[in-house]
Amino acid sequence: MTIQVKDISKRFCSTQALDNVSVAFGENKIYGLLGNNGAGKSTLLNIITSRIFADNGTLNLDGVNMVDNDHALNQIYMLGEKNYYPESMRVKDALKWAQAFYPYFDHELALEIAQRFNLPLKKKITALSTGYTTIFKIVIALSSNAPFLLLDEPVLGLDAQHRDMFYKLLIECYTKNPCTIVISTHLIAEVAGIIEHCMIIKDGRVIKDAPCEALLHNGYTLTGPAALLDEYLLGKQVLSHSSLGGLKTASISGAIPNAEEIPPGLEIGKMNLQEYFIQLMSDENNSVARFMEDQ
Amino acid sequence: MQPIFDPHKPIFQSISEWLKGAILTGIYEEEGQVPSITEISMQYKINPATALKGVNQLVDAGLIYKKRGLGMFVSTGARAQLLAQRQDQFFDDYVQPLVSEAKSLQIGAHDLKDMVERGYQ
């Protein structure tokens, strides 16, 4: 099964939240949806699940329109910011009711995961702490057995130990019951090893959409004396640069060159996903970077 | 023994190097079972496809083999093969950088030899 998002745009008053977004989510892959606050990640996920509607564009599941299509939406579980359960409902009742809403929901699995996290079943959902509210959502998401799991900030408010448990559990569920997973998160370093394909959103536009490995093979850093580096950088697509005295480091977009192509005195380095993301986000509009350079 | 995840190296490579090291040191013995893809990916929180890619490098090199339905096992002779490989690479991986660092510190060949002998004692 494949979700096809085509030319989706969405405007909230004066903000263009999504601008002609086209992406596809293929079967049984783990995607990372990365972007700064307000980039449009949640808007995209909310549109895919018909929680809000796009101004224009199409959404298809295997070629069939999925907007307000119950069959298509049954294939998707979304863990989002909002809680749609009644305020007075207790955790165990919510887990029971989930069976009615999600056709593939595994109630026993939900109880087992809840126990692993020590989720208090008798508490009211609204009385749970921030961390346990997230755990409650995780329990339902991982037990939903839906072919598509959209996880919007799935570790919000979780402590290090619970995050660790969640990532392991996610992989366990994925290997037992392969599905497509889309993780939207700010903790890039933590998911870098898990995600296979990366989509980076900036100001409502998808600026990168590629397998992680290919993405990281398309960026590198060079460090060396400023004059020497500046000369080499002519004609290269520089993402960002910083200076420390006469020593300059630049992040460059493009295929990693061979060591022989680099002038002696310059040192080449690779970027990890988080570094790459940060460099990609810091452009001339980044006031902090500009301020530092003015000094 | 843990894999060393060099953030600047592909993860699958870290996995294959870790597994080779573990076979070389005898943590996984010849004809003994190695962890499954699920176990590896859960333990190190990595995508199962990545773990598989790392492990498959050893399968392709004949260091481990798959038994259908049972799991993966270390081949007989894998240790000797790895040992020979590491010995071949020893000059490039260790001696070259050692000599280049010694040169930059103005340590001559004679002094370096003395130090190596001291290291053996």
| A161 close contact with B: CB closer than 8 A | no
Tell me what pLDDT residue A287 has. 42
| B13 close contact with A: CB closer than 8 A | no
Inter-chain contact A171–B10, Cβ cutoff 8 Å? no
| B64 close contact with A: CB closer than 8 A | no
**Mean pLDDT in chain B?**
92
Tell me what pLDDT residue A291 has. 45
Q: Which of B43, B49, B45, B9 is nearest to A192 (CA)?
A: B45
pLDDT above 90 coverage of chain A, percent: 69
Tell me what pLDDT residue A290 has. 44
pLDDT above 70 coverage of chain A, percent: 96
Tell me what pLDDT residue A86 has. 84
pLDDT above 60 (res A105): yes
pLDDT above 60 (res A294): no
pTM of the model: 0.86
pLDDT above 90 coverage of chain B, percent: 88
Q: What is the pLDDT of residues A214-258, one digit of tens each?
A: 888 888 899 999 999 999 898 888 888 888 888 999 999 888 888
Q: Read off the tokens for B72.
A: 């993966």
Residue A283 pLDDT grade (very low, low, confident, very high; cuts 50, 70, 90)? low
Q: Which whole number is the average pLDDT over B107-114? A: 94
Size of interface A-B (CB pairs under 8 A): 43
Q: Which of A175, A216, A223 to mutate to test the interface with B (most CBs of B within 10 A)?
A: A175
Q: Residues of B with CB below 8 A from A270's CB? A: 8-9
Name the residue facing A193 among B8, B37, B46 (closest C-beta): B46
Q: To the nearest whole angstrom, how far is the Cα of B5 from the nearest Cα of chain A?
A: 10
Residue A292 pLDDT grade (very low, low, confident, very high; cuts 50, 70, 90)? very low
| B41 close contact with A: CB closer than 8 A | yes
| A213 close contact with B: CB closer than 8 A | yes
Tell me what pLDDT residue B30 has. 95
Q: What is the pLDDT of residues A17-47, one digit of tens each?
A: 999 999 999 999 999 999 998 899 999 999 9
pLDDT above 50 (res A162): yes
**Mean pLDDT in chain A?**
90
Tell me what pLDDT residue A219 has. 87
Tell me what pLDDT residue A288 has. 46
Lowest mean pLDDT among A77-91, A165-179, A189-203, B76-90: A77-91
| A193 close contact with B: CB closer than 8 A | yes
**Contact between A273 and A211 (Cβ < 8 Å):** no
Q: Residues of A with CB below 8 A from B7's CB? A: 272
> Amino acid identity of A256?
I
Tell me what pLDDT residue A22 has. 97
